Chains A and B, each alone.
Chain A
């Protein structure tokens, strides 16, 4: 089983739609979780950290489910500018190595 798994997509959604992505991780000792956004041929940019209690930043909501070992990202009221690849990243306990998923590609259509 891969350490971090994501559905590669693409998810094609109309503007204004709500879309959700999941990311599963295999190591129960994983301690920190993040969502990154990556535009084509650009560097990943931090979108948000994922806290145990869940967190929200504008139209974006991230949640962590430790029991089932996944994190989720919800995007409400999708904009054309949200089109990108969304990467989840995990850090395991005792290490500072960030492990990335393959990313989920989102296309928001006019």
Chain B
């Protein structure tokens, strides 16, 4: 089965530092997402990305966050100046993008710990 790949699996950073989380979505997928899950809480939508631009974003996705698709395969989430409350599991996800097949596939996540 095709997979969404995320690196690194764990990231530890100091408050105020920049982090970049990386994802390789499934190759024929068109919509890409970042979700986060704070320990013990729900899976929260951050942003969706289609056709090389942000499609939708949540209130959480403020100016500290940005997404890029720097080449044909990678999809990145950057947090410019991390805060303690950014500590969470960050999941990348993708879908094919046609209305007949909307199944969302998740990567295994990056556990971000901000100290």
* Residues of chain A whose beta carbon lies under 8 Å from any beta carbon of chain B: 32, 34, 38, 41-46, 49, 87, 89, 91, 95-103
Contact = CB atoms under 8 A, between A and B. Distances in A.
- In this complex, the interface size class of chain B, counting residues with CB under 8 Å from chain A, is 20 to 34
Contacts of B108: 42-43
A43 B35 CA distance: 10
Contacts of A96: 31, 48, 50, 55-56, 95, 97, 102
Contacts of A42: 108-109
B43 A100 contact: yes
A91 B102 contact: yes
Interface centre among A43, A45, A100, A102 (most CB of B within 10 A): A43
* Chain A contact residues: helix, strand, loop or mixed: strand
A101 B102 CA distance: 18
B109 A49 contact: no
B42 A100 contact: yes
A95 B63 CA distance: 22
B106 A103 contact: no
Given A97-B48, A98-B45, A43 B91 contact: yes
Contacts of A91: 102
Given A34-B104, A46-B104, A95 B43 contact: no
A98 B56 CA distance: 11
